[in-house]
Structure 1
């Protein structure tokens, strides 16, 4: 129901290949032994970057992965997989500097994990099965612990077979509030909106989306073909909860794209300003737009000021099929008539605020540095031995993609080029990178992110510091593309992972 047919075929084949197989042993990423002892002078990832609570406040949460019949609207119900019985899962809010402890219990009949998307944390807490832990088996539990060091908007989701598990609802928000409350007081409300797509039509043809895109030139064709319903916070259309605000009030709206399709949200003119991107505050001196584009896996925070006393609507670009599913009515009181059926302005000819539209306030590098490591990453499409379409990094599919090998302290430059026909939102775990240029043109105001949306024909130059020892994924966050091969690893040379892809734990990262 939730996965493309091609992806199903390919993953079945890979599962056979992966069973009992260790990835890239030539590079020392995975080992054929599970001892935590040093191997050839290298250290297990379980022994690096440990964090303890000390005298910090401890915030404890319990999350249970379970099957739930979830009502998207009055006419559409899906068999969802959830954390704590809802889509999205429980919203986790903590203060900057808190020690976070999350107990995961698995009541599903398949293994699961939790990845803390965008968080800088110890590698062993990253939630990637077969790389940083074993997947949590049915009936078993695992505890995640880390310090909430950086204020911002984050989210959590399963990284076990995530093309299916995230698709079925295993995600939620993680908000780290600033210690100092001055900026919080700038807003009358602080709300999270998680965007997603679902398949509710059993007859929906999911098999040819990627090929259609390659032929038609529509870089979103595969996801458009695969999904027929949009949701905000697990609800669609008339079931979406209204935002209640009076004229002149300002809300912080934290948008998270948990789906695999980019979304373009249209706001009333003059009402919206981008304030943060991937947990990093932006310099808004350039002004903003009334159209916001958010890529799969991306988080963008905006300040929305209600422009008048009547009802207004924030909604999907009306040129997109099923746009009526994704509308947020903004009303003056609970019993107000909302305007979710209003016609939204077409966005053609308008400027669009994207993840790279505004520079970051706090940079990693003031100037482009001299790199210690340079990695050229070519994103492309291919076919695999008659099994179906693949999405490749440097003409290889995971687990055969060449890793980015680093030593602690290295400055790493990655040149990312999309030579294929589909969009690829590339997400780096455990680090933030600085986007220096696009298509050879340097940014006057560089952008700090952990996800870059690379469209066909685009090239980006990014830099990061290798300052968080471990084994970290770098992958496309259209998880269907990741499922079909578009994954590599940032490999710190002096550490190794004792975990195994496949095997008894059925680890599928």
Structure 2
């Protein structure tokens, strides 16, 4: 069965369980039922039970870790100004935890084992207790092992104490995630043995003549041969793809068609949460523009767009106003175009709209190698001669012999196979694969805070953090050093104002998240500095943010691609002194 035929079948809703095995993983149906309203918990005392549960998709049943027996976990609905106690019972045979992603709270309630608390042992209950000092769209998930991959995540909405500046008639929470039947440790093992294990879209000999939708349609032959000489893969967009992932929306696969209802003329608020382990999504609703009103729980000045990219761990709120009595397809296409999550907005249950086919797969280019300031001619001649990609696992991607390319604070070794020679700020660029989209595409430069950041001071110092890795060996780090293997903690003085420069020396996107703080993304912003807790750093690019270190304690700082964090792309931010005046570790 061809891919075109499979897509046509999905669009017609003909993927019954009997036909499930004919469809790729991304097109398999998910959990039973189409009810658009998820279980909701609220109040000052909330109870969550973490336990092993079966999860069925495509006629197969796998092992999941759920909260209160559902995937995703229940929606936790809180109100700004309340104090909440959340009692978490661990019914597993292993330790667990819950991190409250994007929350401002005491560090010992942040929920990161080994950094802010010991974890929750089996058959015990731990009570989180903290005041709610913010509002917006957030989420919660495990920070223990790889539990997040198999269902340990859920959405949070915090209603504002004051009237909401965003007017809407109805809302839907949209939780995006990825599911695989592979055990997470088995999946990680496959990535360690072969970095591109799940990439089924590599260059082929037939592609040299432009067979089908191969790369030859959008990559010149000389450029393809150049990539071959460097032993690099321009199709290595995502580490884990639709070859094993089913992309879920609120726990439902594309063929099951989760449906959110509306009445024509209503302002519908869509709260998007990317709770994936590894999947970055491009979001669009064909025929229905979206007005973005919030990013990472922080209100932004309304800006209309037709498509936006949501990286892992980010949240975006959008207002849509469907005026016609018809269905609209909500498309969450994976960044590498290997699959999609699909849902429907409709006036009535059972309605559907056409599902667009997957678009041609994107490929990496010079900017993604950190050569954004070089033209193609220079790349093909002068600079190419200085590259050495055949030196084995310990060689630098861009000529290890040229030590001037290696920053003094980066530890060079087998875990670093590339240094971007000319990284540039890419926060204003259209996201990877959407550069030539014929419609409006959101960038960070389009985001302006509705309320400016509270701290107007200029930074007193600057810190460079290099995002480093060896893609073939699946080794990931900051500055060439992995957590617990020589990485010194990042130390900030309490209330210090500091500029952090993230420099991506790899050809992968990295959503970088800091716990317990928000920051201003600052470089080149024409409309103001968006306030976020997670920033996606594009391949070979840079992103800078200004941080006020006003939360004393120890905080996790990491790439939110789960397997990158697990491989070592994580560190600890220490903010001192503490409330008792202590400055010790």
**Is the TM value for this pair above 0.5?**
yes
Between the two proteins, the alignment pairs up a number of residues equal to 428
Contact between 1:404 and 1:490, CA under 8 Å: does it hold in 2? Answer: yes
TM-score (norm 2): 0.68
Larger radius of gyration between Structure 1 and Structure 2: 2
**How far apart in 1 are the matches of 2:336 and 2:108?**
40
Query: In proportion to residue count, which structure has more strand?
Result: 1
* 1:453 to 2:536 alignment: yes
Alignment of 1:55-70 (within 5 A): 59-70=44-55
**How far apart in 1 are the matches of 2:570 and 2:544?**
18
The equivalent residue for 1:294 is: 310
Please give the secondary structure, in 2, of the residue aligned with 1:166. Answer: helix
The equivalent residue for 1:276 is: 294
Alignment of 1:214-363 (within 5 A): 215-218=232-235, 220-224=237-241, 227-259=244-276, 260-284=278-302, 287-317=303-333, 321=337, 323=339, 325-334=340-349, 336-339=350-353, 341=355, 348-355=437-444, 357-363=446-452
The equivalent residue for 1:134 is: 118
**How far apart in 1 are the matches of 2:266 and 2:104?**
33
The equivalent residue for 2:501 is: 415
Query: 1:447, CA displacement in angstroms?
Result: 0.8
Describe the shift of the 1:270–1:280 C-alpha distance in structure 2 as closer, same or farther (beyond 3 A). Answer: same
Please give the secondary structure, in 1, of the residue aligned with 2:564. Answer: helix
The equivalent residue for 2:575 is: 492
Please give the secondary structure, in 1, of the residue aligned with 2:476. Answer: strand
Query: 1:327, CA displacement in angstroms?
Result: 1.2
Contact between 1:201 and 1:228, CA under 8 Å: does it hold in 2? Answer: no
**How far apart in 1 are the matches of 2:531 and 2:499?**
14
Contact between 2:494 and 2:551, CA under 8 Å: does it hold in 1? Answer: yes
Describe the shift of the 1:196–1:209 C-alpha distance in structure 2 as closer, same or farther (beyond 3 A). Answer: farther
Query: 1:383, CA displacement in angstroms?
Result: 8.1
Gaps of 5+ in 2: 1-41, 203-230, 361-433
**How far apart in 2 are the matches of 1:251 and 1:235?**
21
Root-mean-square deviation (Å): 2.8
The equivalent residue for 2:425 is: none
The equivalent residue for 1:80 is: 64
**How far apart in 1 are the matches of 2:334 and 2:502?**
31
Gaps of 5+ in 1: 1-56, 500-509
Alignment of 1:344-383 (within 5 A): 348-355=437-444, 357-364=446-453, 369-382=457-470
TM-score (norm 1): 0.78
**How far apart in 1 are the matches of 2:138 and 2:443?**
18
Alignment of 1:105-144 (within 5 A): 105-144=89-128
Contact between 1:266 and 1:316, CA under 8 Å: does it hold in 2? Answer: yes
